[in-house]
Chain A
Amino acid sequence: MNISFRKPFEVPIRSMKRSQKVFKRIARLAPFCLIIAVLVSCASGRIDPTDPVGENAKQIDGIMRLSGYMATAVGVFVAAAVIYVIVKFRARPDDDPDELPVQVHGNRKAELTWTVIPVLMLVFLAIVTIPAVFDLSGKSDGRTIKVEGQQWWWQFSYDVDEDGEYDIVTANEIVIPVNEEINLDIRSNDVIHSFWIPQLNGKRDAVPGRVHSWRISSPVPGIFYGECTEFCGLSHANMQMRAVVLSDSDYATWVDEQLAPSDVPLSEAAKRGYDLFGRHCVSCHVVNGVYESAADGNANLASGYAPNLTHLMTRTSFAGALYELYKDDGSVNVADLREWVRNAPGQKPARPENRQGMISFAETLSATELDDLVTYLLTLGGRPPLMPS
């Protein structure tokens, strides 16, 4: 038997060179890693939790980064240990097959160390986390807006005079004043949804039968994008939302405008559209002042509600914030709106035969009738206070 006196920890010089080569190769990869980092930081869409704006979102972002850095540090340590072990302790062709490595069965001190250190790190993380959980819950002194999720759009109701009755009911776009911690009462009218505008705060589920409080605020005016994040059936992917943050004066103007009821239109085409609306749309949709029969819900929809259209044209989007209501040049996006009215289930997956989503009028309405109906819709409300940039 060939007996070697080399200790198992000793590494021949030849393989030291090889391991140096490995590290050189890793060093060469560094620019590539940098490119990835740049790509990551540049890529940003409309929904962007990495760019927090609201106070709550900023608090979350801070704590998330802390946990991310800690996780990365531990990850790098473990990866380095694994790579070191692979490089240093690999079997080599000239190893004596009868020579066993030192048979270590364990080490109490080492094991205690790597139990205690993670415990301390996690205790630190818990100390940071738990107060934040309580900070982020609870109500502020600001006003309260009712948020209702239903397949597949959001409804927002405002009690302006605080008499217990909702005075403004709007859809898909929650309009709030700047610099105010707004309380949300989040509910659902059918299945579970989740309210999420990541630049303002994390998400909160809308659970039928329950009222969940949540807060959002923004220090700057602007439009912030969000979407439903709890799987809610067929068109879950198409249930988007926006928060429109206005200066105090713009917000006051918006409220006054929204409080005004609608009226019978003046032009001939719009008048015909108004009549068609009365025949085909009012069992689900409400226009304050003229068509209010569906205000307390209706049996044609599982959720009971369709968007209130009183001030449709003051919104920037329609159909669950899926389509822009205005083009980049500021003109109305009539083509998409008309196609939506004609055949909604063709534009956004729905199951109207099962009382989920809007029915198609492709067979019911003629081309001129569609034009008239759209003409009427264009008379509902003025212009949005803010346009998407």
Chain B
Amino acid sequence: MTSDVVIVGAGIVGAACARLLARSGLRVLVLDQGAGAGGTSSHGEGNILVSDKGPGAELALAQHASSLWPGTADELSNELGANFPSIEFDRKGGLVVATTDTGAAPLIAFAETQREVGVDARMLDIAEARELEPSISDTITAAIFYPEDAQVQPVIATEALLASARLAGADVRTGIRVTGAVRNGAGDIVGVRTDAGDISAAAVLVAAGPWSGEVSRSLGAAVPILPRRGMVLVTTRMTHRIFHKVYDGDYVGAVSSSDADLQTSSVVESTASGTVLIGSSRQQVGFDDRLQVRVLQELAAKALRLFPFLAEASLMRSYGGFRPYMPDHLPVIGRDHRVEGLWHASGHEGAGIGLSLATAEIIAAQMTGTKPALDAAPFRLDRPTLARYLAEDVPA
């Protein structure tokens, strides 16, 4: 049997693409080397943020994605019924604070640039910030409130999108590893080789998150995506005292940094189960998932700068995941200009949960020949900022 599209990766990006493509009437097959929602999608906080992005293509994508989530959350809930757990979409808002005198001015200036492109970024005085977050440190020096920031429970959201895709006719096969491309005489990709046999498809979409580098290389058309490790700490359940997503202003710097060394900035929030999540670090260490105590210590120290009361809270679990890192900090969304039949939806770094819906919209529009809701040109693989990374990879 031939599929119209084979999607490599059953994480949230693959799931969102599968859902929209299947709904547009295409025969979709999703493959994953492991289980669905087993990689990056199950190792992050489930952020749907606009606050951490400066003006530019990614922010535009994030703003569009942010507008899609409430409707999609409702659709999924109606479609999947009461037995399916809620994806816990919660537009709780983000509060970004500076904790130093020198940090205040850049944060305020950054928010100003965001406001110019339509982000709801409200400057608060310290008293207002403390009204939103009564337990926040009294040493904060500036605060910006972003009412649009939201979150979902990322694993449930991924499973829900996959379930919805299945209802629309998509097939999801797990435990199957893609090992190479099937090509026709012209060199076009017309399917994938897997450890469970060859599968033919009119198009192959790589949505394998941090493994996309590996997968695209095996398909003969490498994309320069690297794993970047991120750690999140989880406390035991406690009395509800943190009501928004609360960030230390230097989060913005860590996200857009290319530095391979450990970087942390504090992101603290409560979950629906009463635990508190503390993120997040970024570190380029390949696929090394060994625990590093110094990372935990640094995350803890920074979290206490925001919420001193957390000193007595207990850390009970940490999880380290790999984010798909792009050297120019933009995802790759669309067709591969080098090989006919190959598509990409990857490289979202730590923002894939939020951006997944908008990414899927672009892919579905391009594959079905309609016009995407927003300009997708900045996400093309043949953009100038990627040229030097692609130079060595000559398609077979």
Partners in one complex: no
Interface residues of A (CB under 8 A from B): none
Interface residues of B (CB under 8 A from A): none
